Amino acid sequence: MIFRCFRLTAPDAPAACATRYLSLPLLLAVLAPDALAFTLGDPLDTDTVTPPRPVLRVDGQVMPCRQPSPGTAYGLAQVVDLALCQNPTTREVWAATRVEAAQVGLAQGQFLPLLDAAATASRLRSQAQTTSRRSADVGFSWLLFDFGARSANLEAARQTLAAAVSTLDGTVQTVFLAAVEAYYQAQAARAAVVAASESERASRESLTAAEVRYRVGTATPADRLQAQTAWSQATLTRIRAEGVSRNALGRLANVMGLDANHPVVLDDPPAREPNSGFESDVAALIAEARQRRPELKAAEADVKAAEANIDYALASGLPTLSVNALRQWQDPALVSGQNASIGLTLSVPIFSGFNTLYSVRAARARRDVSRERLDNVRLQVALDVWQAYQNLQTATQTTRTSTDLLASAEQSERVALGRYKAGVGTILDVLNAQSALANARLQRIQATLDWQVSRATLARSLGALDGSLLETTLR
């Protein structure tokens, strides 16, 4: 909508000029449509195609999206909930979908008529006389037929929105997985600190035993020095583990959209033994992933949008038919001269510098790019499922084996230390057993972390990572 008011010599402001030469009813009639649109907020109802803010549902309930009170331990559900609602990545992609929804509204608006108004006031002063001129006009235009250009543009906008919605879904699952990984890494780092403290305590006990035997003359100085070295090494390992744990908590806070120095207290995760419930035919899993993966849906929507853009480029070079109407008022006082017109306008492009030709060629090339990208995503989906499935199988077997390894290492350490205290073993046997036990503890922790993360990764590769994973995890 355009409003013009010029006075070359008069001091009146443009607003005063407008109210002087346009009656209030005419001004309201001209300005009302856009004002009404702002009042309605969404006259083309694009909110119905805009996805809601990402939320986490666990056991059918929507999580509250708020931080626990100070001192309250964070569970996995709270971590994922905060990550989905506070991580800037999810908010950014959600905002991008609202942009594309507004683009659908713009494409729908092209089917509506246009109404423009203009008012002009001027005064020309010369030596002989002063001439004033005032005029106003209201114009109406409506594109009736364009060989499907607007329809193609609307379809392209809708498919682009569909791709954005699928991208949002994929981003939500990616952030979900990142939160799960960060949570279990922080849990593993905390468990590593506990394991390192246990190793430090055991090393100190070995040092005490070596000192006792040295004082009674049944051990050499080398035994005491070796035990001292092992204890110091265990202390260093514990200090490093504490640093790793602090960094893991900082990364966890970052995933949740918090500052890295935000205090985070973790709960005790429920003990879960690996099960074989995930075992299935890999080919069936790949087929399921190709039906569910949001990245694949986004790529398919991109292809459809590119095909619609080809139709739009073709129609842009064809004739258009519009209806136009114009009402004019002229001096004096906007009543003496009045003109009105209405008619049809046929616009036939004859030559545009081969613009249509190369626009169509570019659109077809973009369509080919989208198709190749779709094929690439299909292959990547199959690879993601295959790798996630194999990693989960490996993690399951490793977890079971690490349990047996830890049990045997604990027994070996107890026997070696008992033999040394009884005077029938060597300090090397004790230190070797304690080193093996420390490694077994770390392998058990890593195996548990790998299994938990591998479960979530497989679900992500299938496009099925949601609150149902937490339901099975928390039980």
Q: Which residues contact 246 (CB under 8 A, 6 or more apart)?
A: none
Model confidence pLDDT, tens digit, residues 84-110: 999 999 999 999 999 999 999 999 999
Q: Is the dihedral of CA 287, 292, 295, 297 positive or negative?
A: positive
User: Which H/E stretch holds residue 405?
Assistant: helix 355-421
Whether residue 183 is predicted with pLDDT greater than 70 in this model: the reply is: yes
Split at pLDDT 50, 70, 90, the class of 59 is confident
The structural architecture, per CATH, of the domain 42-112+146-317+352-474 is: Up-down Bundle (1.20)
Query: Is the pLDDT at 30 greater than 50, yes or no?
Result: no
Instruction: Tell me the β-bridge partners of 132.
Output: 123
Rounded to whole angstroms, how far apart are CA atoms 41 and 298? 28
The pLDDT assigned to 472 comes to: 62
**Burial degree of 451 (CB within 10 A; 0-12, 13-18, 19+):** buried
Average pLDDT over residues 28-43: 58
- Does residue 23 have a pLDDT over 60? no
CB 238 within 8 A of CB 193: yes
- Judged against a pLDDT cut of 70, whether residue 16 lies above it is answered with no
Does residue 6 surpass a pLDDT of 70? Answer: no
In this prediction, residues 197-205 reach a mean pLDDT of 92
Residue 7 has pLDDT above 70, yes or no: no
214-258 confidence digits (pLDDT tens): 888 887 888 889 999 999 999 999 999 999 999 999 999 999 999
pLDDT tens sequence across 256-291 = 999 999 999 999 876 666 765 556 678 899 999 999
Q: How far apart are CA 236 and CA 242, in angstroms?
A: 10
The domain ranges of the chain are 42-112+146-317+352-474
Asked whether residue 181 carries a pLDDT value surpassing 70, the answer given is: yes
User: Which residues on neighbouring strands pair with residue 326, listed in sequence order?
Assistant: 139, 341
3-class DSSP assignment, residue 83: helix
Burial class (CB in 10 A: 0-12, 13-18, 19+), 8: exposed
Rounded distance between C-alpha atoms, residue 117 and residue 139, angstroms: 6
Q: How distant is the alpha carbon of residue 98 from its chain centre?
A: 13
Q: Rounded distance, CA 318 to CA 150, Å?
A: 12
What values do phi and psi take at 213, rounded to 5?
Answer: -65, -35
306-337 exposure pattern, b = at least 16 Cβ within 10 A, e = fewer: bbbbbbbbbbbbeebebeeeebbbbeeebeee
Give the phi and the psi of residue 282 in degrees, each rounded to 5: -60, -40
Whole-structure pTM value: 0.83
Q: How far apart are CA 110 and CA 104, in angstroms?
A: 10
Three-class SS state of 347: strand
Torsion 382-387-389-390 (CA) sign: positive
